[in-house]
Amino acid sequence: MTLSILYVDDDDDIRHIVALSLGLDPNLSVRVAASGREALEIVDTGWLPDVAILDVMMPGMDGLEVLEHLRERDAAETLPVLFMTARGRAADVADYRSRGAAGVIIKPFDPIGLAQEVRDLLRASS
């Protein structure tokens, strides 16, 4: 089953690498956004991914705010959201989970195993 993913990150390089990494799995389709605002616009156009992956630290609107805005939308109320962050302390991870994240991916990630990691996190959270 093809899984659609919306990846949001302000870092052009990482956005590119994540898109390529997830693209290694033929059963994943990836759409990227460079900011939280852009991500919300995409969702508002009516395209809803199976899972959203949000970078936590982004200028303007950080990942946590994006999650809050997504939850305000009926369509995305139950959308599984994963966070991606370089701050991987246990306390941070617990905090993100308590705020509604289905899982947390720590940077730097393994590009080859990223797709599998996403699937594992989704399975664990379901």
Which of these ranges, 35-43, 46-54, 70-78, 83-91, lies near other proteins under the rule CB under 8 A?
83-91
DSSP label at residue 27 = T
User: Any idea of the CA torsion for 105, 13, 40, 92, to the nearest 10 degrees?
Assistant: 30
Whether the Cβ atoms of residue 107 and residue 86 lie closer than 8 Å to each other: yes
By CB under 8 A, residue 110 contacts other proteins: yes
For other proteins, the closer of residues 15 and 36 by Cβ is 15
State the first-to-last Cα distance of the chain, in angstroms, to the nearest integer.
16
Q: Is the peptide bond before 111 cis (omega within 30 degrees of 0)?
A: no
Size of the site for other proteins (CB under 8 A): 21
The order of strands in the sheet holding 81-85 is 28-33, 3-8, 51-55, 81-85, 103-106
28 to 57, contacts with other proteins by CB under 8 A? 57
Q: Which of 46, 59, 91, 98 touches other proteins (CB under 8 A)?
A: 91
For other proteins, the closer of residues 58 and 67 by Cβ is 58
Q: Report the DSSP pairing between strands 103-106 and 51-55.
A: unpaired
Task: Provide, rounded to whole angstroms, the least separation between the CB of residue 17 and other proteins.
Answer: 4
5 to 24, contacts with other proteins by CB under 8 A? 11, 13-14, 17-18, 20-21, 23-24
Q: Which residues of this chain interact with other proteins, rule CB under 8 A?
A: 11, 13-14, 17-18, 20-21, 23-24, 57, 86-87, 89-91, 107-112
